[in-house]
Chains A and B, each alone.
Chain A
Amino acid sequence: MPIVQTAADTACEAVRKEKASIRTPMADMVRKFRKQRNSVVALAFIIILVMIAFFGDFLIPYQINEYDYSATLEGPSGAHWFGTDEFGRDLFSRIISGTKISLAVGLSAVTVGALCGTILGLLGGYYRGFIDAIIMRVADTLFAFPGIILAIAIVAILGSGLSNVVIAVAVFSTPTFARLVRGKTLSLRTSVFVQAAKNLGASDARIIFRHILPGAVPDIIVQYTMSIGSSILTASSLSFLGMGAQPPTPEWGLMLANGRNYILTAPHIMLFPGLAILFTVLSFNIFGDGLRDALDPKLTD
C-alpha cells in the first residue's frame, strides 16, 4: 500500500508540475526568443522605429522642407542634432521623417511579395505537375538575377518613383517565398493528417489553407522578417541610384546619395542617413535570426 501511495503521489506531483509550466508552442517560442539577447534588443529597436514612424512627425523640431540658407552644411550642434544639409534643412528631422518611408516601403513590398509567393508556393507544391513546373521555372529565372539588378530592371521598365520601387522589391522577394512554401507544402501534403483530411472529403482549398498553410507559417514569418531588412536596403539603394524617391523626399538612400557630394567637407550629411539605414537593416536581420532560432523545432536548449 505505501508503495502504491507513493506512486500515486509522484504521479500527482508530475501532473501538478506539468500544469505549472504548460509548454504551448507559443510559450515555447517566446521562451526561446527571450534567450537571444541580441534579438530582444533588436526587437525593442524595431518597436521604437515603428513608433517613430507613427508619431515622428509630432516629434521633429523642424519642418522637413524648412530651409535656412544662412546655416547650410553645418555639423551637429545643439540646434541641429545631426547638422544641416546643403539647403540648411535639419537632418535630424528629415531622418526621423524618413523612418516611415523606409518602413512603409520595406513592409509593404515584403508583404506583397510574401502573399504572392505563399499562394504560388502552395499551388505549385499541392497540385504539382504543370502549374508547379511553370511557377518554379519562373522563380528560377528570377533567382538567376541578383536582387538589386532585377529591381533596377523593373524600375527601368516602370519608371522611377517609390510606388514602383515597392513593386520591384515585391517582385524580387516573391520567388523566395514561393520556393520556401512549396518545399514545406511538398512534405506536408503526404503527411498522415493531410491524407486523413482528404479521405474525409475536405476540399482542396480547405486542405491548403487549414492544414498545410499553418505548417508553413513559422518559415514564412522568419523569411518575412529577414526580407524586410534587405527590402529596405534595396529600396534605399534604388533611391541612392536616383531611381526611387525623388527629391525633396527625405528618403534615407536619397539623402545618402546627396551627401556623397560633401563626403570630404561635410561628412555628417552622409553619416547619419547611413547610420539610420545600418541600424534599421541590422535590427531586422538580428530579429529575424532570433526568430528563426526560436521557431526551429530542431534546436533544443
Chain B
Amino acid sequence: MKKRTATITAATLLLMLVMLASCGKSSETTASSPAEGTVTANTTTAASTATDAGSISQQKDIIAGITVDFTTMDPLDTSDTLSGGIQRMIMDGLFGFDDEMNIFPMLASGYTANDEATEFTITLRTGISFTDGTPWNADAALANVARWADKTLGLKRTTFLSGVLKSWEKIDDYTIKINLVEPFGAFISNLAHPACVIMSPKQIEAGLEATAYAPVGTGQYTFVEWVQGDHLTLKLNEDWWGYDSELSGGTALADKDAGFKTITFKPVSEGSTRVAMLMSGDAHIIWPVPAESMSVLENDSSVTVSKDEGIVVRYFMMNTQKKPFDDVRVRQAINYAIDKNAYIKVVKNGLGSIATSIIGPAVQYYKGNDPAPYDPEKAKQLLAEAGYPNGFSTTLIYSNTSANQKQAEFFKQQFATVGIDLKLNGMESALVNEKVQGATGPGSQVAVETYLSGWSPSTGDADWGIRPLLAIESEPPMSYNISYYENPELEGYIQTGLKSADDAVRRDAYAKAQDLIWKELPMLFLANDFNTWATSNKITGVKIYPDGAINMKNAKMAK
C-alpha cells in the first residue's frame, strides 16, 4: 500500500519534472500584432424559437440574475443604471426612450417651448392612473416637479434639475408649464432621464423611506418586495396603459400578451455563477454576460445570447493641468501608442467598437471622427518633440475591479512600448472616489495623473455626454472633469448647445465641440461598450437600452 502511494507520488512529481526539464531557451519573440478586431453590432446569436406565445407568458414567474444589488428605488437618489432600469419598469416618465434611444412622450402627450428654451408647456396624457389608484393629472405632475426642485432633500440627483427649475404652474387639469432659470436646450432629454420617472404623489408625501423602498408609479409592473441582498420582486400590472393603444395615442407600447406574472431579480456577483444559473434553468434572464462566457453560452442551444452597441464610452483620462499631459503632443503621442483594435480584442473580448467621439453613435448630436491609427513610431517622435525623448513615468489610479485591472495592465504594456512607465495604483472604489471624484483644489494640485473611466449619458443627449466630463464647472468635486480640461472655445460650444432649443443650432454647436475635443484629446477615446444579455430561448423581446438599462417592455415567454 505504502509502496503504491509512493509510486503515485513519484509519477505525479515526475510529470512536473518532465515539463520542466525539457525547457530550452527559445529566443523567438512573437511580434505583438493584434488580430483584426472587426465586430458587428446588433447581432443576435442563436435563433429565437418562441412561436405562438399567447398570454401564457403572463402566467409565468421569471428569475433574472443581476450583478449587484439595487441601491435604492428612489429615482432621484439613483446614480446606477441597474437600479434606474428597474425603476423604469415600475414608473413611467413624462418622456421616455424607445429601443434606439429616441425620445417619445410617455405620460406627457406633447410639449411646446419658447425660442430661448426657458419656458416649457407640457400636455399630459389622459385616462391614466397610478397603481395605488391616484389619478395622473397636472397635480400629480407638479408634485413630482416640486420634488425635483427641492434642494432640501439632498438626494444624489437633486442637482440634476434643481438648479434650472424656476417656477411651475398648472394651466388646466392636463397641462403644466415649467419656467427655467436660464435657457436649457436639453431639458426634454433630461426629463427622459431615469431620474425623472414619475412617482405617485401619495408616496412623495409619505417621505423618503417610502420612495426608497416602496415605489409606486404608473408602470407595466408593480413593486412587490425587496429583500436587500437577496431579491427584488415585481408583479405585472395588467391594466398598464401601455397595453392600450387608445391610451397610448395610436400604437400600444407593448403587445397585449407581453410581460410576465412576476419577475424576481437576484443579485449574483460571480459572473460564472450567473452563467451557470442560466444554463441550469435557475435563471431565465441574465445581464450582463461575462465576456469570457459569451462563447460558452453561444454554444448552448437552450440559451439565446445577444449583444448590442451601447452608449457607454471608455476613456483614459489625463490630468491636463499636470506635466507632461499639459502638452497636447504628449496626449497625441499616447493616442498613437494605444492599439485600439488590441484593446477591444484583449480587454473587451471583442465586445466593443472603437470610439469615434466622446459620445456613442446612439446619442443625439453625435458626430464621429476617424480614430488615430496605431503608430508607436509616430508616438515616439511626438514625445521627442515635446521634450520627452526617453519617455516619462506616471501613475494610473483606478478602482480595482477585475475588468479595470485588465485594462490597467493592458495600458502598462502599451505605454512601455513607447518608453512611458505607467505605475499602477489600483484601489478600493471608495478610496478612488475620495481621491479622484472627491478631490478639491486646482488640477495642478490634485493626486490624479491618469484615470480610467467610462460614461453613458442617460439623457441620450450630447449635453450630458460632454458637459459633466469637460466643462470647467464640472471639475471635481462638482462632477467628472477629471482631465481638469479648461478650454474657453469648448466652453462656448457647450453653452450654445445648452442655451438653445433649436435643433440646428445645437447640432452645429455639438459637432464643433466634438471636432475640437477630438483634436485636443483631453482624454483618450477607446471604445464603445457592447451591452450583452442572455435569456432562456423560450423568452423573446428582452433588450438592453443603449445606456445599459434593461428593457423588457415586449418580453414574453413561449410554451
Contacts and interface: CB of A to CB of B under 8 A. Distances in A.
B292 A264 contact: yes
A71 B346 CA distance: 10
Contact of B413 (A67, A264, A265): A67
Contacts of B5: 38
A247 B406 CA distance: 9
Contacts of A37: 2-3, 6, 10
Interface stretch (A7-15, A53-61, A183-191, A207-215): A53-61
Contact of A61 (B17, B25, B292): B25
A68 B345 CA distance: 12
A192 B26 CA distance: 64
Contact of B9 (A38, A48, A62, A65): A38
Given A59-B23, A81-B19, A247-B409, A69 B13 contact: no
Interface stretch (B27-35, B68-76, B353-361, B435-443): B27-35
A96 B23 contact: yes
Contact of B272 (A52, A263, A275): A263
Interface in A71-108: 71-72, 79, 81-82, 86-88, 92, 96
A60 B23 contact: yes
Interface string B459-495: 0000000000000000000000000000000000000
B293 A264 contact: yes
B202 to A, nearest CB: 46
Contacts of A41: 6, 9-10, 13
B296 interface: yes
Interface in B1-57: 2-3, 5-6, 9-10, 12-13, 16-17, 19-20, 23-26, 28-35
B424 interface: yes
Contacts of B412: 248
Interface residues of A, number: 45
A300 to B, nearest CB: 17
B271 interface: yes
Interface string B87-127: 00000000000000000000000000000000000000000
Given A67-B413, A70-B32, A261 B9 contact: no
B427 to A, nearest CB: 10
B309 interface: no
Given A42-B9, A69-B345, A72-B346, A48 B17 contact: yes
Contacts of A275: 16
Nearest to B345: A69
B13 A246 contact: no
Contacts of B34: 69-70
Contacts of A62: 26, 29
Contacts of B445: none
14 contacts: A38-B5, A38-B9, A41-B6, A42-B9, A58-B25, A61-B23, A61-B26, A71-B30, A96-B23, A247-B408, A247-B424, A264-B275, A275-B16, A282-B9
B292 A262 contact: yes
B239 to A, nearest CB: 43
Interface string A131-155: 0000000000000000000000000
Contacts of B17: 45, 48
B372 to A, nearest CB: 18
A246 B424 contact: yes
A82 B253 CA distance: 54
